[in-house]
Amino acid sequence: ARFDAEQNGKRAFNNYNNNTAGVSTPIQDVLVRSIPTLVLYDDNGLDIFNDITHVDEYYITNAEMQIFKDKSDEIAQAHVGNNGVLIELGVGSMRKTRYLLDAIVSQNKSVTYYALDLSAQSLTQSLQPLALQFPSIKFVGLLGTYDDSLLYIKDHLARDNGSTRTLLWLGTSIGNTTRKEAAEFLERVKRLAMQDGDVLLCGIDRRNDASVVKTAYDDPKGVTRAFILNGLRHVERIFGGETGELFPLSKFEYVSLYNADLGRHEAYYRSLEKQRVEVDVDSLPHVFEFEEGELIFIEYSIKYDAEDIKRLMDQSGLRWAKEWLDQTERYSLHCFAK
Ligand code: AVJ
């Protein structure tokens, strides 16, 4: 299944225009316009995100890695069946997946590993070295969106006698959608891709100190800033513009806010001056006008405490089974069961 980022981006950006289906996020009781978060994840954005995972201030990656390093034996023992199927929603860098695969192989289990991603390039880059390192594991790449893959799993991965599925949704990817959307997504995962006995291992960032979160999303080296601003380059391409032509960096900046009450980091663009951006939408000329200082929403990174997780379980119908914390207790890997 192929995902057409250009088409999707265009469709979604159109909503921004009439502000109906586009997200509106209340900031100080003002509704702001928004650009779909997805524009951050073009090939260049995926590369910069990979750089973020090497930034010390972005504690999330190290925390999750440490959990897999310490707990993979236990996880593989209890939650990966022999002749089982592993399905990772979004492959990312696979640095932590190695620990789990190591444990599986040393327990002499044979598994098939399905890795899903939006980018063919990152699927190939991630899976090729793993296939060499773990010859006893069968690797299959799935190119497409989460929802494409849930349907694929439902239709093609009929579960034969007794083997179980272990789904992985790591890296606090859940944080990019609202709490309501996250619960709805988990409900679909449960309904379409899980059967009794299957589990979903879900890596989720906790509601940490505001200063810790703030530094993670506005790091001193500016890697996060580069990641967010790259979204504007992608939007320009979607509109057929040249680099820096429609949204020059002299006229927009990155704004990072941590809303501790709501437990979420919010990323915005700020228009540095009053300006008009002229584009074509479906071959018709269209003008976007921005006020000086106007914020344009681009991304949530939503955090979960124990109460939030409980609500997520109530709303999705999944059953909470277990959790593992990293040493700093900032991050948790949850095991949800059907
Ligand atoms: C890919 C959603 C896990 O929200 O922590 C990192 C994306 N944005 N820095 C996150 C992101 C800015 C990241 N996720």
Got the DSSP string for 100-168? HHHHHHHTT--EEEEEEES-HHHHHHHHHHHHHH-TTSEEEEEES-HHHHHHHHHHH-PPPTT--EEEE
User: Taking 50 as the threshold, does the pLDDT of residue 21 lie above it?
Assistant: no
Q: Indicate whether residue 173 lines ligand 1 (CB < 6 A).
A: yes
More confident position, 266 or 23: 266
pLDDT of residue 1: 29
Query: How do residues 41-53 score in pLDDT, each as one tens digit?
Result: 888 998 999 999 9
- Distance CA(224)–CA(215), nearest Å, equals 10
Residue 18's H or E segment, with its range, is: helix 5-18
Query: How do residues 267-294 score in pLDDT, each as one tens digit?
Result: 999 999 999 999 988 888 889 999 999 9
Q: Indicate whether residue 224 lines ligand 1 (CB < 6 A).
A: yes
pLDDT of residue 252: 97
* Ligand 1 atom closest to 205 (CA): 5
Give me the mean pLDDT over the 282-309 stretch.
93
pTM: predicted TM-score of the whole model, two decimal places: 0.89
Q: Indicate whether residue 301 lines ligand 1 (CB < 6 A).
A: yes
- Distance CA(135)–CA(131), nearest Å, equals 6
Q: Indicate whether residue 171 lines ligand 1 (CB < 6 A).
A: yes
Q: What spacing in Å lies between the alpha carbon of 47 and ligand 1's midpoint? A: 13
User: Taking 90 as the threshold, does the pLDDT of residue 145 lie above it?
Assistant: no
Assess contact for 188 and 128: CB atoms under 8 A: no
User: Taking 90 as the threshold, does the pLDDT of residue 86 lie above it?
Assistant: yes
Chain length of the chain: 338
pLDDT of residue 283: 82
Of the candidate ranges 28-32, 75-79, 96-100, the one whose mean pLDDT is the lowest: 28-32
Q: What spacing in Å lies between the alpha carbon of 203 and ligand 1's midpoint? A: 12
pLDDT of residue 159: 63
pLDDT of residue 147: 87
Q: What spacing in Å lies between the alpha carbon of 199 and ligand 1's midpoint? A: 24
Q: Indicate whether residue 92 lines ligand 1 (CB < 6 A).
A: no
User: Taking 80 as the threshold, does the pLDDT of residue 160 lie above it?
Assistant: no
User: Taking 60 as the threshold, does the pLDDT of residue 11 lie above it?
Assistant: no
Q: What spacing in Å lies between the alpha carbon of 301 and ligand 1's midpoint? A: 6
* Ligand 1 atom closest to 299 (CA): 8
pLDDT of residue 36: 92
User: Taking 80 as the threshold, does the pLDDT of residue 93 lie above it?
Assistant: no
Give me the mean pLDDT over the 198-226 stretch.
97
Q: Indicate whether residue 9 lines ligand 1 (CB < 6 A).
A: no
Per DSSP, the three-state class of 183 is helix
Q: What spacing in Å lies between the alpha carbon of 280 and ligand 1's midpoint? A: 30
Q: Indicate whether residue 175 lines ligand 1 (CB < 6 A).
A: yes
Q: Indicate whether residue 172 lines ligand 1 (CB < 6 A).
A: yes
pLDDT of residue 176: 92
| Percent of the chain residues topping a pLDDT of 90 | 72
Of the candidate ranges 145-154, 186-195, 265-274, the one whose mean pLDDT is the lowest: 145-154
More confident position, 50 or 160: 50
Atom 10, ligand 1: which residue's CA is nearest? 301
Q: What spacing in Å lies between the alpha carbon of 257 and ligand 1's midpoint? A: 14
Atom 2, ligand 1: which residue's CA is nearest? 173
Helix pair 97-106, 120-133: axis angle to 10 deg: 30
Q: What is the ipTM of this complex?
A: 0.98
